[in-house]
Structure 1
Amino acid sequence: MPSDRITDDDRRTIEALAEAWKERASAPDRADVEEGFARLYREQGMEPPKIVWFDSPMAGMVAAYALAFGGEVLERTPLPSSEPAPPHPLAGVARAARLFPGDTPQEVIAAAYTAAEGLVPAPVWAGYWVMKQAEVQTRHPSDPDHAERVRGTALTALTDALLPADRRGEARSALARIPDDEQRWWTVTGSVRHPADPASLLAALLLGAHGDRPLEDHPLLRIAPGLGPWWAFDGVLLATDPPVEVHTDARGRLHRADGPAVRFADGFSVHLWHAHRMPPGAIAPGWTAGEIAFASDEEVRRRAEAELGPGTVRHDEGDVRRCAAERLGWARLVRELGLEPVAGPTADPEDPASTLALYDLPEPLFGRPSRLVVRSGGPRDGVSLLVPTDADEPVAAAAWLTGPREEEWMPDDVFALDMEMEDDIEHVEEVHLIGGQELEPFASEGAGGTYYLCGEGPRRPVLFADSEGGCRVLGRDLKEALELLAAETLDSYRDDLDTDGLDPDDAAEIAADIETVEELIGELKLTPPSTPEEYEARVSSARAMSTALTLIMTEEGNAYEYRDDTD
């Protein structure tokens, strides 16, 4: 096999395996999974385990906790509460990362993985939030009746599988009395086996981990498509089914506007708004406009944690509020709050049947001033857009970040301002703007930050995102941004130069840095703010765009924190 690619035959093989995977995943079969596990165990020289099935990860966690720390009730050796479970002999077979032959070139693994990933993506529901919510709802249920039903069903399934009929009732009572312990829960959550990543598994099977058997007959292809989270104990395997419902948005993130994004057969579910975990009541039936706009952060946190569990909303009350507003709809929020426009209504030049109006939103929505333009009437009735807070004319505001793009002024080198112009920049995580406008990275910063040009049109604002969840707007175009950065860089150097007892060599180096920045200012014909008042006016102008350019972590659904001084 060539060292930098996979063959056409390999691709056809992966396509066939992917089809088999999708067929099994569309109709999970517990018997198929059990047969696959039995074969795997025998191949490892072990007797097949007793497999006990549960309808959800929440039920599985109840059973895993009971089996791990009440094992003597079930005539099994319990696990020590202070130590994680030892690696199970099956772990090396059931984890795809360990299946690749040791001498397989990395570029071949990457090629096989990429080919498989495009055919069968990883199950989006199998991430952190589902398991975290399963633990929280087991320990601190927002619906005690549902939690009690799940607990009772889980302990019944466990005792029915492991004990004779005359001992089951007493055992269930004993297991229900096991003390809740934080350290023990870490053991249970740390020992869970998560659903397999299809691309990793198919790539591993293709590249030689299947032994002499036909690829399509590998037991892992029977197990993985129909299995949720699972726990392997000595002689017992606790298995859970995949969810019965999974809903995603256009980006493939967990999302649903009128119910849970993930739901399991026993009713355990997780609500998410574009990947951000939400309290169920904020999704269905949804919070009112007044509750969203005027509740204090403390009230938002209290209400969210009443449904999600204590400690689950530590610093993201703003995100919960924002997502609840997006779910309600900005135009509807304006209407239900009875807000009066600050400008307009004005005839919409794009549609004679509609008008445009500007509104100031209540400050608690973003924790700082924000402004919205709303279209009323016509086929685009209700379409809205966050705009700069100093926008004063509805038509111009509606066209913000749009229009024909002029030739971009782009200097060759601004390294003196700690900006490195690059192609193919990758930020530490995927991000997007709240309004969905174009976001083009054009430079990086030494500590892992990224500079972006926002939107389209003749002037594109510059947004800086650091590597720790902070961002700031630097100017309405690149020239303004460089002028602000130049002023801040010079001020920083001059402060360093005024330090008492500064070493002469250090002073000379700082003086040279100042000269380099001043040369860059002259070369680029920049006009940095020269007084504190002018500097504050520039910062305020940039801050006026901050809510309209809110930066969102795509995979997590959280907003970056706006900071005037991030660098």
Structure 2
Amino acid sequence: MSFLVQRDAAEIREQWLGWALSTLPADRPAAEAAISGLYDLVGLAPPRFHWVSSPLAALLTVPPGVRPRDADRPVSERPLPYRLRWSANRLHRELDSRIRPAQQPFDQVIRYQVRGPLARSVTSSLHPPLRAAHETPFNPATSWYTTQCVSWIAHYDALHRLAGVRFTPEQDRHLGLWAAAARSCGWWWPWEGVCVVSERPVTLHTEMADDTGVVRLHHPEAPAISYGDGWDLYSWHGTQVPDWVIKDPAAQRITDEPNVEVRRCAIERIGWDAYIEQAGLHLVATAPDPGNPGSELRLYDMRKETKVLLAVNGSVERDGRRRRYGLTVPGFLTDPLAAAGWTYGLSAEQYSRLLRRT
């Protein structure tokens, strides 16, 4: 597969990612026309539209004409989302059948460079607000929201543009309706007779998560994503955190926090050196790191039953630096080499023979 095809696939991915993560106001006429067209494909008249400012507002809203007890049903159990998902899945099968053997290598490249990274970016950037808005835990990746994800739409768009896969006029129209909806608004929730549609976020901050084009929510000083009604979420390198982690990551709050991932993020926010000083952690012992020549292992008392091993990452970060990080280890360990070995399932002697840790 030529470099030009891979380059063009990456450009298509970035184009769709831009639409997925857009903070522009929704194009309401375009969104309503596209959603009405999708209603028509399952035999329903165009709905009334009830616009809200955020996913939270959408899930707290009982739209006009919907009985409150029906509104309490999970989205995945409502009949209309199921019918629309079934219609989209049938379209997937039809479009896949249009791929000829000579076009299959393009399909594999597009799945790797377009569909996969877009799906992971949506999961990391747009699913956290959905999870936060729902009162009960759920997985957006296995629900109605998967059907709205731009990843599958971009996949078939790229197949048409890069591999020359031809669809029938009806298939083009069906795919075009899903594409227009994805480009025009935020998440939407269909009912018979009425459709609730969310505006896009007004701010959304991401960072590159890896070298495949995947992004994740992150902002070191402010909400990573916020909506017009003031609802927002904070995120540290893709991990959703309480606002205090970003605004006031004090040592005592970190000590009192029961969630280990939140503690880790808060410590990284202020830096391990600053945290150790603020928390008054006692240095137990130090040792050169044989798995990372030139770096030092430092073992500190943290809590009664635990210690923290401070080490330097063996590989270089995207910004060219080596990140210092801490790992909690059992409190009975007193030797930094034994503590480092414990994190790998090795003894102190086995760890001391490592050439380089990555």
In the superposition, the TM-score normalised over structure 1's length comes to 0.44
Residues 1:224 and 2:182 aligned together: yes
Measured in 2, the distance between the counterparts of 1:93 and 1:113 equals 22
Measured in 2, the distance between the counterparts of 1:9 and 1:358 equals 46
Asked whether the equivalents of residues 185 and 199 of structure 2 are also in contact (C-alpha less than 8 Å), the reply is yes
Residues 1:368 and 2:293 aligned together: no
Residues 1:268 and 2:213 aligned together: no
Tell me, what secondary structure is at the counterpart of 2:189? strand
Change (3 A) 1:96 1:323: farther
Task: List per-residue Cα deviations over 1:426-454 (Å, max 9, x = no partner).
Answer: xxxxxxxxxxxxxxxxxxxxxxxxxxxxx
Asked whether the equivalents of residues 206 and 218 of structure 2 are also in contact (C-alpha less than 8 Å), the reply is yes
Q: Please state how far the C-alpha of 1:213 moved relative to its aligned partner.
A: 7.7
Task: List per-residue Cα deviations over 1:471-518 (Å, max 9, x = no partner).
Answer: 7522458xx38xxxxxxxxxxxxxxxxxxxxxxxxxxxxxxxxxxxxx
Q: Which amino acid aligns with 2:346?
A: L
Task: List per-residue Cα deviations over 1:512-567 (Å, max 9, x = no partner).
Answer: xxxxxxxxxxxxxxxxxxxxxxxxxxxxx99xx9xxx9x9xxxxxxxxxxxxxxxx
Asked whether the equivalents of residues 10 and 113 of structure 2 are also in contact (C-alpha less than 8 Å), the reply is yes
Q: Which amino acid aligns with 1:240?
A: S
Q: Paired residue for 2:84?
A: 90
Measured in 2, the distance between the counterparts of 1:360 and 1:120 equals 40
Task: List per-residue Cα deviations over 1:57-86 (Å, max 9, x = no partner).
Answer: 101101258865427xxxxxx478599212
Find the partner of 1:291 among 239, 253, 269.
253
Task: List per-residue Cα deviations over 1:395-451 (Å, max 9, x = no partner).
Answer: xxxxxxxxxxxxxxxxxxxxxxxxxxxxxxxxxxxxxxxxxxxxxxxxxxxxxxxxx
Q: Paired residue for 1:201?
A: 153
Change (3 A) 1:360 1:44: closer
Find the partner of 2:264 among 319, 322, 334.
322
Q: Paired residue for 1:30?
A: 28
Measured in 1, the distance between the counterparts of 2:302 and 2:12 equals 55
Task: List per-residue Cα deviations over 1:361-391 (Å, max 9, x = no partner).
Answer: 34239x52224379xxxxxxxx845489524
Q: Paired residue for 2:114?
A: 116
In the superposition, the TM-score normalised over structure 2's length comes to 0.66
Measured in 2, the distance between the counterparts of 1:271 and 1:236 equals 32
Give the number of the structure with larger relative contact order, counting CA–CA contacts within 8 Å between residues 6 or more apart: 2
When you count helix as a share of all residues, which structure comes out higher? 2
Q: Which amino acid aligns with 1:320?
A: V
Measured in 1, the distance between the counterparts of 2:309 and 2:20 equals 50
Q: Paired residue for 1:333?
A: 275
Q: Please state how far the C-alpha of 1:227 moved relative to its aligned partner.
A: 3.0
Q: Please state how far the C-alpha of 1:34 moved relative to its aligned partner.
A: 1.3
1:480-519 to structure 2, matched below 5 A, reads: 480=350
Tell me, what secondary structure is at the counterpart of 2:310? strand
Q: Please state how far the C-alpha of 1:51 moved relative to its aligned partner.
A: 1.6
Tell me, what secondary structure is at the counterpart of 2:58? helix
Measured in 2, the distance between the counterparts of 1:189 and 1:20 equals 18
Structure 1 unaligned runs (5+)?
A: 72-77, 137-181, 302-316, 345-355, 375-382, 393-460, 464-470, 482-540, 552-567
Residues 1:130 and 2:92 aligned together: no
Tell me the matched-pair count.
315
Q: Based on CA coordinates, which of the two structures has the bigger radius of gyration?
A: 1
Q: Which amino acid aligns with 1:361?
A: Y
Asked whether the equivalents of residues 17 and 216 of structure 1 are also in contact (C-alpha less than 8 Å), the reply is no
Tell me, what secondary structure is at the counterpart of 2:190? strand
Residues 1:282 and 2:224 aligned together: no
Measured in 1, the distance between the counterparts of 2:170 and 2:68 equals 42
Measured in 1, the distance between the counterparts of 2:90 and 2:110 equals 13
Q: Which amino acid aligns with 1:237?
A: C
Find the partner of 1:103 among 67, 82, 97.
97
1:96-495 to structure 2, matched below 5 A, reads: 98=92, 100-101=94-95, 103=97, 107=104, 109-117=107-115, 122-123=121-122, 124-127=124-127, 129-136=128-135, 192-194=144-146, 196-205=148-157, 206=160, 207=165, 211=169, 218-251=176-209, 252-286=215-249, 288-293=250-255, 295=256, 300-301=257-258, 317-339=259-281, 360-364=299-303, 368-372=306-310, 384=324, 386=326, 390-391=335-336, 472-475=344-347, 480=350
Asked whether the equivalents of residues 16 and 154 of structure 2 are also in contact (C-alpha less than 8 Å), the reply is no
Q: Please state how far the C-alpha of 1:261 moved relative to its aligned partner.
A: 2.1
Change (3 A) 1:361 1:244: farther
Asked whether the equivalents of residues 62 and 71 of structure 2 are also in contact (C-alpha less than 8 Å), the reply is no
Measured in 2, the distance between the counterparts of 1:190 and 1:120 equals 16
Instruction: Report percent identity of matched pairs.
Output: 21
Measured in 2, the distance between the counterparts of 1:13 and 1:249 equals 20
Measured in 2, the distance between the counterparts of 1:79 and 1:475 equals 56
Q: Please state how far the C-alpha of 1:320 moved relative to its aligned partner.
A: 2.2
Measured in 1, the distance between the counterparts of 2:239 and 2:9 equals 37
Measured in 1, the distance between the counterparts of 2:55 and 2:326 equals 39
**Aligned-residue CA RMSD in angstroms?**
5.1
Change (3 A) 1:86 1:196: closer
Q: Please state how far the C-alpha of 1:223 moved relative to its aligned partner.
A: 0.8
Change (3 A) 1:115 1:372: closer
Measured in 2, the distance between the counterparts of 1:248 and 1:96 equals 33
Q: Please state how far the C-alpha of 1:237 moved relative to its aligned partner.
A: 1.0
Q: Please state how far the C-alpha of 1:343 moved relative to its aligned partner.
A: 6.6
Q: Please state how far the C-alpha of 1:248 moved relative to its aligned partner.
A: 2.8
Asked whether the equivalents of residues 88 and 147 of structure 2 are also in contact (C-alpha less than 8 Å), the reply is no
Task: List per-residue Cα deviations over 1:248-286 (Å, max 9, x = no partner).
Answer: 344133222222222222122222222322222222222
Measured in 2, the distance between the counterparts of 1:373 and 1:126 equals 33
Measured in 2, the distance between the counterparts of 1:362 and 1:240 equals 48
